[in-house]
A and B are shown apart, each in its own frame.
Chain A
Amino acid sequence: MPTTRRVAAAAAGTIALAFALSSCASGGGGAEELDPNADLSEQTLTVSIWADYSPEDLAERFEEATGVKTTIVNHTTNEDIVAKLTASADPGIDVAFVSGQYAQALGEQGILAKLDKSLIPNEKNLYPEALELAYDEGNVYSEPYAWGTTGLCYRPDLTGFDPTSWNDLLNPKPELVGKTTMLSTDRWLSMPALKAEGHSINTTDDAELEDAKAQLLETKPTLLAYDDTTFYSKLVSGEAAMVEAWDGWCNYGIAEDPSIKFVVPEEGADLWVDTMTVLESSKNKEAAMAFINYILDPEVQTWVAENILYKVPNKAAMDALDPALIESYPTLGITVDELMQQETIVDLGEDSLKYVDLNAEVLATN
């Protein structure tokens, strides 16, 4: 979920929140018959996606290809869109982009429609591995849009060495004290500590979480800052020497300073996936399936990789990628095998509260 625009989120969301009364969502989730011959030009589509995460003319291009009148709206975070989707029985959105663990949770709650694969033939373009991800095996409720991992993004000229372990961040050498940043959002705050101690990033074991918390509290005074949005510019400016970063975002730093490097620490990291889902409440499901099918077209997903510098789970699209681009942005060259060695973040149901509490305690403690 690498598009956390926390500051913008705050301003935009608070107003909407006041008007949403109930979160009691209803919905079946059962497969209803879709009409493969439905006249798509009779349908309209509202798609909610993170800002700057798709081609600007996507709506027009899809409309031209299928005749579906399409509106694209933006959300700022997973929390933002999930709140919208659960606040009323019909949020007026047909297709929503959410991270994998949120697709899982929404699917379990009956908020998402099962995908009709006969209308999504382009699924064949995906890597086979992209059909077996832990949050939604068989892609029942979601198709992947982009994926990646998290690691250390660093300036070798400032660190003086190539980090290999999460401990290089968590227990930094004296000369790196005050020169590192960590992500503070959601599950990414605890991830380095859990991995460094050999725990699963999806653990719900209280003792393991206590371990992680103790490490994070020890790390806190050594940090320059917690930063979810501008960490790569702190590297570029030289304020920070090493930051915890989503691979795609590290590329935004590399774009400005090619000496910046990215490494997935040896203890491993997460595999995050941003997915496309169709709402059970949608009255335009045929058009929604057609939209997902359209996105899985190699040409469209190649655009995603080229412009937002994220890897896409689309083999045909990745194969079509310019090798020069991969040379400039090595994170695009991380292979599917390497990615599969990382741990997929899954939804933990009520236990996700444990992570909420952990974050609150680490961030609020001085």
Chain B
Amino acid sequence: MTETLQRPAPAARAGRVRLGLAPAPFLAPGMIYLIVFMAVPVGLLAFYTFFERGRFGGIVFEFTLDNWVKLFEPLYLGVILQSIALAGIVTLLALLIGYPMAYAIAGLSPKWRTVALVAVVLPFWTNFLIRTYAWILLLNNAGWVNQWLQGLGITDAPISMLYTPQAIVVGLLYMYLPLMVLPLYASLQQLDPSLREAATNLGATPWRAFRTVTFPLSLPGALTGCIFVFVPAMSNFVIPELIGGGKTIMIGNLVRDQFFEARDWPFGATLALLLTIFLVLVIVVQSAVSRRLTEGPRRG
């Protein structure tokens, strides 16, 4: 009896040691794929940033730091900061809207939970461009929404809703809200209900139980959601162009234009690399914060 109780523990420990190189075959396909299609292109990007542009695109092998200097011109700096601001606003709004949504879904009966989750994910089954054009059809000055508003006599003249920075925020929010809801839902749904019950039994009001128990425990999910929204929102260029009417551009548009309009690959590479570095830093900070949150001050 004592033997059977004792055995599993050392066996597990020994097993972990013996694993050694065993994960290699499992890791290899994914790692090779990532190295070829992620590390190599990013390495190329970094390499390009230090050379002169070719007249027809491509690069000329003459060393220069101009591309990095150019980043700090007010024009480009402005676009970069504007992108951070727009993506930040979108992320914040997604959190404010997405949190109650995820909270409500987690509280549903299993059957309705599935229905709600499918509804959240459903838009992803339609092509991204088609959904973007749908917004244009709905919101333009001669679009359905304005026709209804005028038809019902609510307004006399059409309300301009498209081709503004606000429209970009709405478009990005619509596009990425599900990416906020899903990780939040996952973390809220995993919460042990007995923790909340304990808080209530000890006299906490529902609000206080939420504030001191539920909310802190759901923060890692919220942070994951924020990253899921912020990262693609920051680099999107289709929505600024189609819904923003090309009047307000984001860093994604700058990158695209360097390659397809300006034929300035080195500067395009510099912008792309900057975007990559910035987003990696954001993710590193996010994962550090969320590790502290889940593991508590024991390690911190």
State which of A2-10, A117-125, A134-142, A324-332 sits at the interface with chain B: A2-10
Is B55 close to A, CB under 8 A? Answer: yes
State which of B7-15, B72-80, B102-110 sits at the interface with chain A: B72-80
A residues less than 8 Å from B123 (CB atoms)? none
Inter-chain pairs besides A24-B54, A364-B78, 20 sampled, C-beta below 8 Å: A13-B259, A13-B260, A18-B45, A22-B58, A23-B60, A79-B263, A80-B260, A82-B263, A106-B56, A109-B56, A185-B261, A225-B246, A226-B246, A226-B247, A237-B143, A239-B162, A356-B261, A363-B249, A363-B257, A366-B82
How far apart are the CA atoms of A150 and B162 in the complex, in Å?
A: 26
- Residue in B closest to A82 when the chains form the complex, CB atoms: B56
A364 lies within 8 A of B140 (CB): no
- Chain A nearest CB, measured from B233 CB (Å): 17
Is A223 close to B, CB under 8 A? Answer: yes
A23 lies within 8 A of B54 (CB): yes
B55 lies within 8 A of A350 (CB): yes
- Chain B nearest CB, measured from A253 CB (Å): 14
Q: Can you list 5 A-B contacts with CB-CB less than 8 angstroms, sorted by A residue number?
A: A10-B260, A22-B61, A82-B56, A82-B263, A363-B253
- Chain B nearest CB, measured from A66 CB (Å): 31
A364 lies within 8 A of B75 (CB): yes
State which of B172-180, B192-200, B214-222, B237-245 sits at the interface with chain A: B237-245
Dominant secondary structure at the A interface: helix
Is A20 close to B, CB under 8 A? Answer: yes
A residues less than 8 Å from B54 (CB atoms)? 23-24, 86
Q: Looking at A13, A237, A350, which has the most chain B CB atoms within 10 Å of its CB?
A: A237
Interface string of A354-366 (1 = CB under 8 A from B): 0010011101111
A residues less than 8 Å from B141 (CB atoms)? 178, 238-239
- Known A6-B241, A79-B260, A82-B263; contact A360-B75, beta-carbon cutoff 8 A: yes
- Residue in A closest to B79 when the chains form the complex, CB atoms: A364
How far apart are the CA atoms of A126 and B15 in the complex, in Å?
A: 81
A: contact size bracket: 35 or more
Is A83 close to B, CB under 8 A? Answer: yes
- Chain A nearest CB, measured from B48 CB (Å): 9
- Residue in B closest to A366 when the chains form the complex, CB atoms: B248
- Residue in B closest to A238 when the chains form the complex, CB atoms: B142
- Residue in B closest to A365 when the chains form the complex, CB atoms: B75
How far apart are the CA atoms of A77 and B254 in the complex, in Å?
A: 17
Dominant secondary structure at the B interface: mixed
**CB-contact partner of B260 in A9, A25, A109, A364, under 8 A:** A9
Contact residues, A263-320 vs B (CB, 8 A): none
Interface string of B136-165 (1 = CB under 8 A from A): 000011110000000000000000101100
Contact residues, A166-216 vs B (CB, 8 A): 178, 181, 184-186
Is B293 close to A, CB under 8 A? Answer: no
A residues less than 8 Å from B76 (CB atoms)? 364
Q: Looking at B58, B78, B162, B256, which has the most chain A CB atoms within 10 Å of its CB?
A: B58
B residues less than 8 Å from A186 (CB atoms)? 261
Is B265 close to A, CB under 8 A? Answer: yes
- Chain A nearest CB, measured from B139 CB (Å): 10
**CB-contact partner of B57 in A6, A86, A350, A360, under 8 A:** A86
A223 lies within 8 A of B247 (CB): yes
A18 lies within 8 A of B44 (CB): yes
B residues less than 8 Å from A82 (CB atoms)? 56-57, 263
- Chain A nearest CB, measured from B128 CB (Å): 10
B60 lies within 8 A of A359 (CB): no
- Chain A nearest CB, measured from B154 CB (Å): 19
Is B204 close to A, CB under 8 A? Answer: no
How far apart are the CA atoms of A224 and B254 in the complex, in Å?
A: 21
How far apart are the CA atoms of A106 and B55 in the complex, in Å?
A: 10
Is B31 close to A, CB under 8 A? Answer: no
Is B262 close to A, CB under 8 A? Answer: yes
How far apart are the CA atoms of A80 and B56 in the complex, in Å?
A: 10
How far apart are the CA atoms of A82 and B78 in the complex, in Å?
A: 30
How far apart are the CA atoms of A181 and B241 in the complex, in Å?
A: 13
- Chain B nearest CB, measured from A224 CB (Å): 6
**CB-contact partner of A364 in B61, B160, B245, B254, under 8 A:** B254
